Amino acid sequence: MKIVFANSAWVTAAERLILRGGSWRSVRLRVRYGLIIHPRVGPVLIDTGYTPHVTSGADRGATLRLYGAMLKPELNLAGQPIPVLARFGLAPRDVNAVIVTHFHADHISGLSQFPNARFIASDAAWSRQKQKTAWQNLRHGVFPELFPADFENRLDGLSAKRRIAARGDIPGGADLFGDGSVVAVDLPGHADGQFGLLFPQMDRPLLYAVDVQWLLKALAQNRTPGFPARLLAEDFAAIEPSSAILRRFAATGGDVVFCHDPEVTPYDLPSVGG
């Protein structure tokens, strides 16, 4: 099984907004998404990153336009899902599944590009999202217009997956493909239903921890940002327990990767993302 990450875009933030006690210097953050080539399931995406649906889509609503204007994501054209798939001889129709780690715009904006994919996501979070008001969704960066019209029909919910128990400091979770190769680990705090992905069968186990933190430094140094970042969290009190799971995993010798950390990892595709 092959696992790689690509950078769909950059966003810029003051360090102190993403690292407690940080400076006012600007940090250029990545917006990663992943690609798994699974020996049985085939091509599977981990989220989609930012795509033009957020930055320039002609049919964007007013709130999505405002969101794009505020965050100003700078798309990395070479790192967009379609050209990245082409590097592996694949087209959008070849993608059999998209694992949707949570419903924020920088993780789902390209879902409509993959007509044959099922969407592996938290069905419980999906049910809650449908009941939320437009303001509640906007506050947490969720835009219903980014979901394909048939999202629910193609939803492959976590609740139906076999559960794998934790082993010491190796977390457990939902067995996504029934072979133990990819395990969805609940990591609450940042977003409703957020889960990371554990790859326990690799030579060096990997845990893609999505947005538990923005920076690895914040995790390693216990520097979770406070105000105003806490206003954006679904459940700020849950961020530290989720971070503790990651620290224990890293102490076993496993690798932790975040969506937005700017440093290049061994799993990042070369020459894609700068």
Q: Residue 273 pLDDT > 70, yes or no?
A: no
pLDDT tens profile 5-47: 999 999 999 999 999 999 999 999 999 999 999 999 999 999 9
Q: Does a structural domain hold residue 252?
A: yes
Provide the mean pLDDT of the chain. 95
Residue pair 5/34 in contact by the 8 Å Cβ criterion:
yes
98-123 mean pLDDT: 97
Q: Which amino acid is at 89?
A: G
Q: Does a structural domain hold residue 171?
A: yes
Segments forming the whole domain that contains residue 34: 2-257
Q: Would you state the pLDDT for residue 230?
A: 85
Give the sheet arrangement for strand 195-199, strand by strand: 163-164, 173-175, 183-186, 195-199, 206-208, 255-257
pTM here?
Answer: 0.96
Q: Would you state the pLDDT for residue 70?
A: 87
Prior bond of 188 cis (ω within 30°): no
Q: Which has the higher per-residue pLDDT, 272 or 215?
A: 215
Q: Residue 132 pLDDT > 90, yes or no?
A: no
Catalogue the E-assigned strands of 73-117: 74-75, 97-99
Q: Would you state the pLDDT for residue 274?
A: 52
Where helices occur in 38-122 by DSSP H, the ranges are 52-55, 62-71, 81-87, 105-108
Q: Would you state the pLDDT for residue 6?
A: 98
Where helices occur in the chain by DSSP H, the ranges are 15-18, 52-55, 62-71, 81-87, 105-108, 123-131, 134-139, 216-220, 239-251
Q: Does a structural domain hold residue 217?
A: yes
Q: Would you state the pLDDT for residue 32?
A: 98
Rounded CA-CA distance 176/183 in Å is 6
Q: Residue 123 pLDDT > 90, yes or no?
A: yes
CATH number for 208:
3.60.15.10
Q: Taking the chain, what is the end-to-end CA distance rounded to the nearest angstrom?
A: 25
Q: Does a structural domain hold residue 83?
A: yes
Q: Does a structural domain hold residue 267?
A: no
Q: Would you state the pLDDT for residue 139?
A: 78
Q: Does a structural domain hold residue 35?
A: yes
Q: Residue 48 pLDDT > 80, yes or no?
A: yes
Q: Does a structural domain hold residue 64?
A: yes
Q: Residue 53 pLDDT > 80, yes or no?
A: yes
Q: Does a structural domain hold residue 262?
A: no
**H or E element: which one contains 206?**
strand 206-208
Name the domain count of the chain: 1
What lies within 8 Å, CB to CB, of 61 at 6+ separation is: 143, 145
Q: Which has the higher per-residue pLDDT, 227 or 92?
A: 92
